[in-house]
Chain A
Amino acid sequence: KAGVTQTPRYLIKTRGQQVTLSCSPISGHRSVSWYQQTPGQGLQFLFEYFSETQRNKGNFPGRFSGRQFSNSRSEMNVSTLELGDSALYLCASSLPDSGANVLTFGAGSRLTVL
């Protein structure tokens, strides 16, 4: 069974640009969550999607957005990039019907903003 796949694994952008990150969940998993990991702030929750609907959102500015497709794949977008957006962005999927909020994480997309 394939794990959570995130693309691209590494990318470099400049300030003011935008970026789109992709996440393919484990087959059968319908919930996808996104987290930002930085050395200073640690792991912080961005948002969670289920059945193409955002169910929960963390405390991030509106420049951070996401969506989920009918096949459960998810993308997140960051517009008008700032230096502080440099981070590892982790996607995780889970089986919401399992009665347990157990996340399986991908390897992450490492974004560097210059």
Chain B
Amino acid sequence: AQSVTQPDIHITVSEGASLELRCNYSYGATPYLFWYVQSPGQGLQLLLKYFSGDTLVQGIKGFEAEFKRSQSSFNLRKPSVHWSDAAEYFCAVGALQAGTALIFGKGTTLSVSS
């Protein structure tokens, strides 16, 4: 079965501390992986994507993610969290072919404490 698991429902991080959000996937074909962020009342904004090549990908807002095929993981990291990073984060997997559905994880809510 195709699925995405984000084990952490809610994470609280101090401002300035590092962050790692976990994502594991199960997908029958070559996986194309995404991280999206959603602020309250807003749609989803793409942070980064992995299609092929270097397994460490850089995204917007200082985020990066590492693809580990052997572990079926695509964890999101940020070295120093800012209060504005508080939001809900979604990992997704899909096929490269346009029009195919993305399968999303249930999301991780990030709170940032001062």
Contacts and interface: CB of A to CB of B under 8 A. Distances in A.
A58 B104 CA distance: 13
Given A33-B101, A100-B49, 15 more contacts: A42-B104, A43-B104, A48-B101, A94-B98, A99-B96, A100-B51, A100-B96, A101-B99, A101-B100, A103-B46, A103-B102, A105-B44, A105-B45, A106-B43, A107-B41
Contacts of A92: 44
Nearest to A49: B99
Contacts of B36: 105
Contacts of A90: 43-44
Nearest to B44: A105
Contacts of B105: 42
B106 interface: yes
Secondary structure dominating the interface of A: strand
Nearest to A103: B102
B41 to A, nearest CB: 8
A25 B101 CA distance: 17
Secondary structure dominating the interface of B: loop
A35 B107 CA distance: 15
B45 A31 contact: no
B71 interface: no
A45 interface: yes
A104 interface: yes
Interface string B87-108: 0001010111111111111110
A17 B9 CA distance: 34
B49 A96 contact: no
A48 B46 contact: no
8 tightest CB-CB pairs across the interface, nearest first? A96-B98, A45-B101, A105-B43, A43-B104, A105-B44, A55-B99, A107-B43, A48-B99
B70 interface: no
